[in-house]
Amino acid sequence: MTSEIDIKLVRLSEPSLDAWLGLLGEHFGWLPTAAQRPSIMPELLGAVGTRARVKEGGVLELSANTAADEEVFLKIPADSWAWE
């Protein structure tokens, strides 16, 4: 079973957040540096259209579309994220 969720309701572990922002940084050159990240994370993820789904076993799947309309994904284990 898969459920769409609001990314603003999710808190990611630091390694997962770093991995996702690194992946997005490859496709969205205007992303700020990690030093600026904590205070703007929800707005930043919203600005690049991050979507989130909870998959079987509690795996969180993040996705976004690049400017070239390619979809990028990151799957985060159930123990690396939590509800806000």
Q: Cα(40)–Cα(25) distance, rounded to whole angstroms?
A: 15
Strand blocks (E) in the chain: 3-5, 10-12, 51-54, 60-65, 71-76, 81-83
Tell me how far apart the alpha carbons of residues 24 and 45 are, in angstroms, rounded to a whole number: 9
Higher-confidence residue: 77 or 21?
77
| Residue 81, H or E segment | strand 81-83
Tell me which DSSP letter residue 83 carries: E
- Residue 69 structural domain: 3-83
> What global pTM score does this model have?
0.81
Counting the structural domains of the chain, the total is 1
The 10s digit of each residue's pLDDT in 4-63 is 888 888 888 888 888 888 888 888 877 766 656 666 677 778 888 899 999 999 999 999
